[in-house]
Structure 1
Amino acid sequence: MESLPKTGRIFGVNIRLHYTWVLAFALITAIMVTQFPEALPLWQRVVLGLVTCLLFLIAVSIRSFIISFVAIRKGITVKRITLFVFGGGAEISQEATRPIFELLIAVTGLLSTLLLCGVFYGIYAILFNTGSVVAYVLIQWLSYIFFMLFLFHLIPGFPLDGGIILRALLWKVSGDYDRATRITSLIGWTIGLLTIAGGILLLIEEQQWFNGLTLVGVGWVLQSAAARSRRRAILREALQPVKTEDIMTRECPLISTQSTVSQLIRDYILATGQRYCLIVDGDKLEGAVTVENVKRASKKHRGSHLDKIMTPVSELKLAHPQQSAASVLGQMDEQWVDHMPVVENDKVVGIVSRESLMHLAQTRNELGL
């Protein structure tokens, strides 16, 4: 599991929380309880700790919104935003960007982090002489944590801003996006490993539970994200020379819109194990039905025609026979789908699946192709 379900939407972009925020809320609340005056009842310090967590989350969200706004203004497609503890990650479409745009996005991330640090520090300076100890302790911590995030993001390891800047520069020099991703992801993975080791050392040698667990958590998230990006880059490189027509399944069942859900289950899903079926009206593709579509349809609708439960063609991503298999895999990642119809001259000529793409990429890597 990489993230919690969708938690919001802004500028047309889906927002998701990374699940490590659950641990972060617990750790931040625990440390903030020790920072507030002990004269306050424990329950009040816990509530204030939770308020600090919430403000931190809101600030990280603002950082991501600034990055997304700049990207969208430059015509770059933002697929989704995942809010990590060390800052939100805006996933952009590779096809819509250039090295200079990626560089702009990373610099925007750094500047927005520094801006938030400055805003919180300014508020802290105003509150310092007011006698409001609770307020300035809370704001001081937020200022400090955003300054540390700024320094952390200067590290040249993907997916940190420094790593994105390095990837943009390598991409510009070499012209190879995937190679640049592999290099910066390896750096990010190594930094994540070192961060985990540092956290474990603090736990064992210094018994600093908050700092130690925080470093372990951040290092683990960083290492996981870097490893995932590296794997994707390796897969794309392996599939780059392959055309969709070379790997697609040509003999795919085309089912009439007038067929019923019961017929689909009996004649195709159970009989052949087919989990993704294309729905047509004559020779024209109208949509697709998956097992998930069928599961969402109640039993009383089993006699309904398939056009009542299908995903319409307007919502499907279509592949072309001459399209690069690497590009198809990227589109599957963007849409979170496992199959794509292959269409030529408005006629269905096959289906390509994520499973077949992954299997071919693995085989080509094993053979050194």
Structure 2
Amino acid sequence: MSLVACSLLAFAQEAPKSPPLAGQGQAGNSQPAQGQPAQGQPAQGQPAQRPTGGAAPSQDAFKFGSPAKLGDGLTEPMMWPAATAEGWAKPVLVKWQRSFDDALALAKETGQPIMVAVNMDGEIASEHFAGVKYRDPEAAKLLEPYICVIGSVYRHTPRDYDEFGARVECPRFGTVTCGEHITCETELYTKYFEGLRVSPRHIVLEPSGKERYDVYYSWDTQTVLTAYVEAAKEFPPKKERVRDGLPLTQRIASPDIVDRLAVEQAYRAGTPKVRRELIEATMKTREVDSVELLRLALFGLDTELAKLARQSLALAQTEPAVDLIAEVLKTALPAEDRDLLVAAAERLGEKFPRARTLATLHRGMALGSKLIDVAHAGGSTT
């Protein structure tokens, strides 16, 4: 294998080695340490095992009213009815943030709690939440006090962006790409799942990111809805953010999905003057890296805006910028722009190892070889 191929493999993010997913009627495969209570074991006096099999509801699920088993006379399809084709066609009404970092930044700014939702394909209760509850106006309204993030390991689209840099949103969850909810799930697994990958799961976090409640394996949907309502009462009421009259160039500084969508829509619909103002604003606002906005310019047809976007990208501070830099470096670039982005990768490499690998790769490719005459490598030797 060539050195370049080895470097590319090193740059690719290694998939986490973690247990398989466990669904509503399945027990997690993590085992408690000897002498320790099992994961999700209920308080004393509660049944430790579902009579019909699978793991017991979490302690917080019991706290918010989960029964110990499915109600008499009920079946799982009755409790968690599948969405119809018409139901799946409805828009998702929950505004999921694009990353956990965005959610944390917004929570610290506003004081709102974070609601972490975990979902998996093909599991009956997860299918119900994704296809019914997250599209239901009444259920979505219960989540308004929260800053919401969604994690799922499944991909529902073949790509996250089209050839012009426009986002391809996940049809199952809306507002996020599949790459975003997969990345989010991986990060949440490391921080909060304690080795148990189970779905559906709803975790309430304080604005600092500290866990407050963890609800899973409940035997009804009402338990989850009750958790939405009761947990929100423990935090100050949500304060509506004032956006009326706020220039779009200022909304670039916000990590909120509502502001991100508004800015990107304004860019797509805007005149060349508006587009330039928005890209220039990204160079002045360093609180948030607007990599998705920059992507629209980088892969658009306006070469001047693309050059300006490359200059802004070179100032980025966050890890998502590393992937965008890698994509841009695959394209034909003026030498000065390539050097600018490689230097940015080197700077980001102080915080993110993948960026350091990326910079090393491109520095190495520029050195050439003493053994191969690249200029004449394809020519005839006769």
**TM-score between both structures, scaled by the size of structure 2:** 0.23
- Which has the larger helix fraction? 1
- Between 1 and 2, higher relative CO (CA 8 Å, sep ≥ 6) is seen in 2
Q: If each structure's strand is expressed as a fraction of its own residues, which one has the higher value?
A: 1
- Please, what TM-score do these two structures have when normalized by structure 1? 0.23
